[in-house]
Structure 1
Amino acid sequence: MSLPPVILVNEKDEPVGTMEKLEAHQKGLLHRAFSVFVINDSGKMLLQQRAADKYHSGGLWTNTCCSHQLPGEDTPTAAHRRLAEEMGFDCPLEEIFSFSYRAEFDNGLTENEFDHVLLGTYNGPVQPDAAEVQAHKFLSLNEIREELIAHPGNYTHWFHIAFPKIAAFIEARGND
């Protein structure tokens, strides 16, 4: 089974080609991705625990949803598509910031992503796809901060980078 292609980009997020997802991670090539963070009206953030058999970072806790844009697909469309597929709901999303990061994993794969971060608010039921998500929970921003200090190895690499920025944005806006 071949995985869908990812969009290869340069450091300015300009497309330079496409490549099958696993190959891009094996070669560690910079590609476009997105991370969705969802909070509820109480300011608690919805986290997911990645399914144990994911190709990397299996069993780790992270933001609500993350994935890759398909060739020809803009970031908002991709984010709404994957939020519905992974978590079983959709909600309005706003792109807040982007960042690049590189992380090498023990299995030989490398995440080298230009990551677009989106934020949404949602208060309804969550029905995650068990093939993607092992568990989910809502935590306050302070509970997440405490968790990151007490158990940093339980969270994905990109979550450690994106969470402080998104939390600062949420708090500045007055949702915590």
Structure 2
Amino acid sequence: MNPAEEILDIVDEWDRVVGRAPRAEAYARGLRHRCVFVQARDAEGRIFVHRRTPTKLVFPSLYDMFVGGVVGAGESYDEAALREAEEELGVRGLPRPVPLFTFLYEGGGDPAQTWWSSVYEVRCDLPVSPQAEEVAWHGFLSGDELERRLDAWEWVPDGLEAYVRLKAFREAG
């Protein structure tokens, strides 16, 4: 199926389902939907980082420190987190990603870029083989390496916001 045709649940400001629409329509009309962000770490604790392909519908060619994507119609956040992590990392048999928190991403005030976002973490000890259609480059970076690249690379804005919130969440302990 063409990703633009994927059916999404449309949700209100309290994350309650109020309808359904194809992904392309949800994006074009700025309909609030659901997304998952999964921070994948390897056995050494390094974070999986990748650059999106230029053909992505949203934020093409930008870097991201999460794997994830939209939650399909009728799918739970937990189901989407595992599905998206396995798809984007190119693995099978990951442990279930651990849910950490949920927030409403508001795209810097742009109503066309508003979605409920659930943040997860997962350990991936398997060799990764990311989807070529989704990932143009990938690597595992230490936390310090990632921090050094925050100002040097262009990051997806929702992933960057999720990363800042995740750091604050961990510091609050």
Report the TM-score range of the alignment, normalised by the length of the smaller protein.
0.7 to 0.9
More off after superposition, 1-10 vs 110-119: 1-10
Provide the C-alpha distance between the structure 2 equivalents of 1:127 and 1:171, rounded to a whole number of angstroms.
32
Identity across matched positions, percent: 28
Provide the C-alpha distance between the structure 2 equivalents of 1:118 and 1:19, rounded to a whole number of angstroms.
25
Provide the C-alpha distance between the structure 2 equivalents of 1:144 and 1:100, rounded to a whole number of angstroms.
24
Instruction: Say which SS state the counterpart of residue 110 (structure 1) adopts.
Output: coil
TM-score by length of 1: 0.85
Aligned partner of 2:49 in structure 1 is: 47
| Gapped regions of structure 1 (runs ≥ 5) | none
Residues 8-157 of structure 1 mapped to structure 2, 5 A cutoff = 8-89=10-91, 90-103=94-107, 110-151=112-153, 154-157=154-157
Quick check: 2:66–2:159 contact (8 Å CA) kept in 1?
A: no
More off after superposition, 62-71 vs 4-13: 62-71
Quick check: 2:67–2:84 contact (8 Å CA) kept in 1?
A: yes
Aligned partner of 1:166 in structure 2 is: 166
- The list of structure 1 runs, each at least 4 consecutive aligned residues, that deviate by more than 4 angstroms after superposition, is 168-173
Instruction: Say which SS state the counterpart of residue 107 (structure 2) adopts.
Output: strand
Instruction: Say which SS state the counterpart of residue 150 (structure 1) adopts.
Output: coil
Deviation at 1:168, TM superposition (A): 4.4
Provide the C-alpha distance between the structure 2 equivalents of 1:77 and 1:18, rounded to a whole number of angstroms.
18
TM-score by length of 2: 0.86
Aligned residues, how many? 167
